Chain A
Amino acid sequence: MINEFSIANIQRRRALKALSLATLSSLSTLPALAQFRVEVSGIGMTQLPIGLPTFKGEAQAPQKISTIVKADLERSGMFRSVDAAGLLADETTQLDASAWRQRGADSVATGSITPLADGRFDVRVRLWDVVRSQDLGGQSHVVSAADLRLAAHRVADFIYEKITGEKGIFATRIAYVTKTAQRFNLWVADSDGENAQSALTSPEPIISPSWSPTGAQLAYVSFESRKPVIYAHDVSTGKRRLLANFKGSNSAPAWSPDGRQLVATLSRDGGSQIFAIDVNGGEPRRLTQSSSIDTEPTYSPDGKSIYFVSDRGGAPQIYKMAPSGGSPQRVTFTGSYNISPALSHDGRWMAYISRVGGAFKLHLMELANGVSTAITDTSADENPSFSPNSRLVLYATQQQGREALMTTTLDGKIKARLSGASGDIREPDWGPFQR
C-alpha cells in the first residue's frame, strides 16, 4: 500500500487560477501511514499549472513516481497540477501542446519507470514548456527499488529548478521525534515525512534534533542517563559521541554554519546560559552572562550573529548577539512570550513562536524591517525550521488533538500536513542540501 494521494483534480482555466481554493478529499479512507494531504487555501496566489500524467510503467512499479512528484510540487506552493486524464504520454512522446493548452497547463512533465535486468529501475522524465511548445530537457535516474522515492524527489527538484530557476528541496531530509507509549524514536525521513528510518530508539525523551551543515550528523538532547545530555550522532553509521555532559542540564544544541562548533545551553555554572562548544570537545566558552534564562541559541546563516531566547526583560523575548557573546540586542518587541527562533538560509526571515492569547502561533519576521506576521491558524505551533531554499517552514503543531508536522509557504497560504511514523510526532528539523 503505497502513497495514496488525495488532491482534487483542478480543472480550471488558467484565467481562473488566481481563484484556486481549498480542494480536499476525505482523509478517512486513506491508510494511516500513507496520508498525503495538501491543503490549499487563500486567494491571489500565482501557482504555475503543470500537467503530470502517470508515468509509463508506474502501475507495475513499487512507487507511484508521478504521485510523489505531484505532491512535492504542490507542497511547494509554486505549482498546481492540472487534470491529465486521457493524455497519456511518456518521455519519448512528442508533446500534444494544443491538448495541454486546453487543459490550462503551462508545462508538462512526462516519464516512465522501467525495471532493469539487475533488479533496479530506470526512472526517466522529460519536461515541456507548453506555451512555447519547447522541450526543456530530460533526466534518467537508475536506482534500486529502495531509492525510487529519492528518484521521484530528484525528478521534482529537476522540474522545480527548471521552471522557477531556484533549487528544489524535495530530495533533502528531515529529522523528527515520535513518542509511542514509553518509546521515543528519532527518525530521518524524506522531505515529505515519508520513508522514515529510525536513527535512535530510547525509553527516555529525545528533543531538539539539529542537523549538521553537511547533513551527516544530528546533534540532539537525550535523557537516557536521567538528565539532559547532548550527543552528536553520525546518521549513516549510528556512531554517537557525547558533546556535552556537564553537571546540570545540557540542551538546545545548534551548529555553527562552518560546522566547527556548536552553541548550547548549559546549567553547569547555575542557571541556563549559552556556551560555545568545539565540535572536537574541550572547555566550553560561556557566551552569555546573565542571571536570567538564556536558551535556544541559533546562528544566523552568515555566522555573524547568534539569536537566542532570554527572559532578562521579565518575559521570554528573542535577542541577538555577536558569535563571541557581548551585549545582546533585542529583536522581538510585540507580545510577552516569543521563543524558538529559526533563521532562513538567505538571511531574510526569522520564524519563531509567539504566544497570542493562550495560543502558541508560528510567526515570521522580515528582518530588514522587523515586521512580523502570524502565518497559521493553529494554536499549538512549535519548533520551526526553514527549508534549505528558504521557501518553506517546517513546524510541529496540533490538529484535532493530535501532534502533527506541517509545512507552510512563507505567506502562510499553502500548508501541507506531512505523513510520518505513527505516534505523537514532534521536534522537526529540516536538513541541508546534500551532495
Chain B
Amino acid sequence: MKRILSILSVLTLSFVLAACGSSVKLSDVPVEDRSAGAAGAGGAAGADSQASGRGVAPVEISTTDTTAAGPVGAARVIYFDYDSFTIKPEFQGAIEVHARFLTTNKNRKIAIEGHTDERGGREYNLALGQKRSEAVRRSLSLLGVAETQVEAVSFGEEKPSMSGATEDAFAKNRRAEINYR
C-alpha cells in the first residue's frame, strides 16, 4: 500500500460583507429589505450570512497508486458471465496459483476488486461487484489463504476496462481483479 495521498486544500472563500441596505422608499407599499441586518419575514438570511454560507473551498486529491508484484505469469483478471458470480473452471488454475503464492508468502496481501458492466444503477452495481470479489475471496479461502491477507472490495461500474456499450465491452468489464499490495 505505497501510495502518496496529497490533499491540497485551497480556501477561496469570497466573503461578501454587506452593509446595511439603503432605505430608499420605493412607494407606499412596504419593501422587504433582505440585506444585512434586516432579514425579511420570509426567513431568508441577511447578505452576510448568505454569502459566507455559500462559499465552496475546493479540495484536490492526487493519488499515486502502485501495485506490487505477485506470482509470475498468473492471470490477475477473472471474467464472469452476465448476472453471474460463479468462477468459471477456466479460471480455477489461476486462483490456485494465487492461493499457493499467498499461503507460501503469509506476509503478502491482496485486494480483490469486483467490477460490473455499465448497465443498471451505480450503487446496486457496486453491491454486485462486491459479490464477484467475495466469490474469489471464498475460493482462495477454501484453498487455505488467510482472511487477513485478503480484502474484497468493489468498484461497481466505475472503472470499466473497456469503454463502450457493446457486448464485447460488457464481457470485458464483468470481472474481478487481483492486485498485490
Cα separation A250 to B58 with both chains bound (whole Å): 23
Of chain B, the residue at the smallest CB distance from A200 is B59
Give the top 4 A-B pairs by smallest Cβ distance, nearest first. A238-B57, A197-B56, A205-B158, A144-B16
Complex interface: chain B residues within 8 A of A239 (CB): 9
Contact of A140 among B35, B51, B58, B156 (CB under 8 A): B35
Residues A203 and B130 in contact in the complex (CB < 8 Å), given A142-B18, A227-B153: no
Complex interface: chain A residues within 8 A of B21 (CB): 122, 140, 142
Q: Which one of B70-78, B97-105, B119-127 contacts A? A: B119-127
Sample (12) of A-B pairs whose CB atoms are under 8 Å apart = A122-B22, A137-B32, A138-B27, A200-B60, A203-B61, A204-B61, A207-B123, A223-B155, A224-B5, A226-B63, A238-B57, A240-B7
Q: Which residues of B154-176 are within 8 A (CB) of A?
A: 154-156, 158-159
Complex interface: chain A residues within 8 A of B63 (CB): 202-204, 224-226
Interface pair B130/A271, CB less than 8 Å apart: yes
How many A-B residue pairs have C-beta atoms within 8 angstroms? Tell me. Answer: 226
Cα separation A248 to B13 with both chains bound (whole Å): 36
Interface pair A201/B121, CB less than 8 Å apart: no
Q: Which residues of B4-58 are within 8 A (CB) of A?
A: 5, 7, 9-11, 13-14, 16, 18-19, 21-22, 26-27, 29-36, 40, 42-45, 47, 49-58
Complex interface: chain B residues within 8 A of A135 (CB): 27, 29
Contact of B123 among A158, A233, A267, A295 (CB under 8 A): A295
- What is A's interface to B at a CB cutoff of 8 Å? 91-92, 118, 120, 122, 124, 126, 135, 137-144, 146-147, 150, 154, 157-158, 161, 171, 173, 188, 197-205, 207-208, 216, 221-228, 233, 235-240, 247-249, 251-252, 265, 267, 270-272, 293, 295-296, 309, 316, 337, 339-340, 353, 355, 360, 382-383, 426-427, 434-435
Interface pair A226/B111, CB less than 8 Å apart: yes
Cα separation A112 to B120 with both chains bound (whole Å): 48
Complex interface: chain A residues within 8 A of B13 (CB): 236
Q: Does B145 contact A (CB under 8 A)?
A: no
Cα separation A295 to B122 with both chains bound (whole Å): 11
Interface pair A139/B52, CB less than 8 Å apart: no
Excluding A137-B31, A146-B16, 6 further A-B contacts by CB distance (< 8 Å) are A126-B26, A154-B44, A205-B159, A267-B134, A309-B124, A360-B120
How many residues belonging to B are interface residues under a CB distance threshold of 8 Å? 67
Cα separation A157 to B9 with both chains bound (whole Å): 33
Interface pair A251/B123, CB less than 8 Å apart: yes
Q: Does B62 contact A (CB under 8 A)?
A: yes
Cα separation A188 to B16 with both chains bound (whole Å): 18
Residues A143 and B58 in contact in the complex (CB < 8 Å), given A122-B22, A137-B32, A226-B111: no
How many whole Å from A239's CB to the nearest CB in chain B? 8
Residues A91 and B130 in contact in the complex (CB < 8 Å), given A137-B32, A353-B121: no
Cα separation A237 to B56 with both chains bound (whole Å): 7
Cα separation A122 to B22 with both chains bound (whole Å): 9
Cα separation A256 to B9 with both chains bound (whole Å): 28
Interface pair A124/B61, CB less than 8 Å apart: no
Complex interface: chain A residues within 8 A of B57 (CB): 199, 235-238
Cα separation A90 to B130 with both chains bound (whole Å): 60
